[in-house]
Structures are given as structure tokens and as C-alpha cells.
Structure 1
Amino acid sequence: MKASHCLLLPYLALVAWSGALRAEETAKPAPEEAAARANAKAYETAYAKGDVRAMAAFFAEDADYTDESGRTYRGRDAIAASIESGLRANRGGKLEIAVDSVRLLGPEIAVEKGTTVSVDRSGERSRTVHTAIHAKRDGKWEIVQLIESPVPDVTAGEHLSELAWMTGKWEEADEAAAAKVLSEVTWSRQGNYLTRNIQVTRDSTTLLEGWQIIGWDPVEGGIRSWLFDGDGGYSEGRWTRSGERWLIRETGFTPEGGRIAAEHTLARVGSDQFSWESNNR
């Protein structure tokens, strides 16, 4: 039996009684990771403005860039020309960069891995994965090598593989409320959804039942969830990964029609434990 000792599960946002949530202190990202994420946002902004010079400035003078087709551009000037060509081809589009990880190889060398999504004017999205090597020169982090690769076609279930650890039975006991929360997470028959059955009990009385479906949204290119409680309330959430944590933005309605909204943070903290933090409710 798995036990979530840190915090109550997301569906408790719909429970009438309030338990004391013990929030795990949020770990601050390393300076290198924070810098990489800040640079990614700044690069997105420069792309939206069509500012080739600002985009090229993120690269070292002697940087190498290999695009998803395998073509390599050597030096900042060649990279700038490639950027300008790409902007012309995707005029009016936008860029979304997700930094998945940053690993420090030395005091002045870091390796970033992430995903880039290009969105054209019609809304069509194309994805690539990238590996960037950053070097710190004169106090500034610069990209010395960037390699992009096409993303292979994957099934909806494969998109959820990062949440596979959630499968199994989980139990949370709230001593103050004298209640228990039992849930079981399983794969759907074809393996493209995670389903969760929820039961909140006090003594032998069932206080609340709920059902959640977690799936991949091919239109938005992200993980979404739908939660229904036995009293008639429902909500939907959008999941975004940040390092080893998941941010879930959830909106929905109570059985009476009142609006609800919350932001949750989910993190695995062991083979049979996770933490759950709820904010902005």
C-alpha cells in the first residue's frame, strides 16, 4: 500500500471539510537552471518581436547550431542568417521553449535539455527536442552548441509515461478530521489514459466519491485531467512539468454551479510517497 504522507490529493479541493495540509517547502532551482529558464523566456520574447540581433546574442561568437534536418551552422553570423530565414518562413508565428533539465558539468559549463514548439499563424504546432551546451564567459552564459532533433511520433499513453509512477493504491489519513482518502490509479484498457477512483471515508461512512481521467491533449500539446465528484461537481486541469514537479491549474464548478479554481503542485518524493500543495484557491 502506498502512502502519501505529505499532503492530501487534488480532489480534496472539492471536499466540504478542511484538513490541515502540510506543505513541503518548495525547493529553489539552481542558479544555472534559473538562468536557462530566464534566457528561454527572453528568447521567446525576441522571437515574437522578430529581433534577430537579440536572438543571435544568446549564442557565442564561435557557436555551432544543428537544426532538426541535420544542417549545421557555424558561427554567430551564420546562425543569425538561419534565424532570419526561419522568421521569414514563420512570419506571425510564435515560439514556446520548455526547459526540462539543466546539468552543471563544471563551474562554467552546463547542459540544457528541453523542447521547442513552433506555432504558425494558423495555430499548427511542430515540436523539436534540443540539447544546448552553455558556457559562462565574462560572467555571461552563452550557447556554444545547440542541437535540435525532430520529435518521433508517440502515442497518447507514451506522453503520460512520466506519470506512470502514480499507478497503484494510495492512502491518506487526516487525524484531525478522522477521515481517510483512498484512491486507486490504473491505466485504461488501451493504455492511453490514467484513471483514478477516489473514496473519502470517516469510520465506515463514505463522505465523497470521485473519478478522475488524466490524458494527453493533442491540440494543446499537453497533459489534461477531468475530475468528477459523486455530488455533481466537476473540474478540469492543465498539467505543466517544472523540473521534478508538476504544476496543475484547475478550474471547475461545484454542484450548485459556483466556480472553483486552484493551482496544485505535485512532486514524487520517494517510491511510495508524493507531496501535494494547493494554492490560490
Structure 2
Amino acid sequence: MFRTHSVLFFVSLAACQTIIAADSDDKKLQASIAESAKKYETLYAARDAHGLAGLFTVEAELIDSTGTIFHGRESIEAEYKSTFANEPEGKISIELVSIRPVAVGLVVEDGVVTFTPSEKKAGPVERTRYTATHVKQADGTWLLASVRELEQDRATPHERLQAMAWLIGEWHEEVDGTSIATKWNWSKDHNFLVSEFTVVESREKKWHGSNRLGWDAERKQFRSWIFDSSGGFGEGFWNEDDGGGWSVNLSAIDADGVRSSSKIQYTSDGANAIRVTQQDRVRAGISLPGSSHRIVRQPPTPAGASTK
């Protein structure tokens, strides 16, 4: 919950160099703040909750967007520990909106912090607006007295789809004598992932189709639309599984008007392969047995080689 907050504090400290320049020309003080900022970087990289809590005043507070208050260093330290234990690692960037001295020894900072998970499948990019209050101490240093999370800015569809970018590339699968070649890539506007697939059955019957995957802002989950060259179509709703894989609940209607549905699970099977498991298969009201097979990522075509 406060993984974004925990990063914004570094920028808050770095920004204090500007604050001190207005308050004093003492280069030693500027160096002291710069040293504090470097210390924060080190503590955060080490995931040192105790050290990070020490950057706050004893009676400091953190307030999240729901109004939950973490009051005092001990509570703040506990929240850091929870963050490091439960949230993915990642990198941050800060857009500093304003720094406003509001009284002697008191400064308010507004900004936006962007958190990007280290692993794309760990979740979407998150942006959060915040306000932080700094208090100057008797020894000339600055500590955080209050940090309030205002709201999360909406992530763009492209940013959310980073969690599904593992699909990008060319894939091949063989299932009961049927060969399927699929190529995923970004749409031109980068707001969808799109694929083209070709299916060859028994080396004779050949058909093709397309798949478009996007973010459903109403349902707050990924949604896909499938169309094949025979006139059939389908749609699916995606969910991330506890083990880190993905599953899609798919429903479709073929060109003859026959309805089918299934749950398809995708799990990693090595660096360049995916295990696909189909469950709850139903066609025309009749239950069908499940199945499992492997999809293999194809290596890039060598430069200058023919693609025919």
C-alpha cells in the first residue's frame, strides 16, 4: 500500500536541497541534506524499514488514500516492513509539482510518484499524488512530519498491459495433429496487444484468425476478443492466478451458431515455453475432457533471411 510512499520520501529529501538554499546559503547544510538523500537511497535499496522510519519525526504520520493513519515511527516502521514483505520490488520516478515554505521551519511539498514493478507480471505501473510536510529540526536537518496519499492517477491501458507483455513474440504449438502458429505484438496505438494466428489441421484444412487483448476499465480486468476466418468469434476475461500464471474464462460461438466455453490456464514452463491447460470445457451443452499442452516461443528470424 505504501510502496509508492516509501519511494517518494527519497525525492522529498533531495528536494530539500532547494528548500535549504532559500533558507540558508550554508553549503554544509546543503551537503547534509544531500547526504540524507543518499542515505535514504541506501536504506531503501537495503529494504531497511527501521532506518527509513528514522527519517520521520517521532510523532510523524502517514495517511493513505482511504484515510488510514499510521501514527508515529513504530507504526511507520511496521508499515515499511509490511510493504517490503508483501509488495514487489520496482523502480520509481517523481514529478515534483511544488515546494512551498508555509512558516519558519515548515515546508509543504506536492508531487506525483510513479512506481514501475521490476517484473512486468508483478502488476501495472502506478501513479500516486501526494502531499508531504517537512519540519526543520534544532540541529538544522529536515524530517518528515506528515505524508498524505491523495489519490492514484489512472494508469494508461498501455501501462496496465505491461503485465501481459510476456505474450509478445512468435509462438508455436502442436495439439492432436493440429499445428498453430501465433504472433503477438502491440497495436499501432499501443493500447492493445494483438495477435494473428494460423491453424493447420491434419496438414490439409487451414484457417486463421486474430485476437485483441485490452483493459476493461469497468470490470477492472483484462479482456480479449477473438475472431476466426470462418466467421466464429469469442471473448474472454483474464485473471492472474496465485502462482503467478494467468487464466482466461473464454466463451465463443462458431460459424454454425454452436456455443462453447472453457477455462484456459497459462503457466511458465521454462524461459521460452508456456504450459496451457484447458478445463471446464463445454460445447453445445456437452462437457468435454480437459487437456494440457506446451507452447514454445520461436526464435527471431535471422536478419536477411526469407520469411516465406
TM-score norm. by structure 2 comes to: 0.44
Return the structure number with greater relative CO, CA threshold 8 A, min gap 6: 1
TM-score norm. by structure 1 comes to: 0.48
Bigger CA radius of gyration: 2
Going by fraction, where is helix more abundant, 1 or 2?
Answer: 2
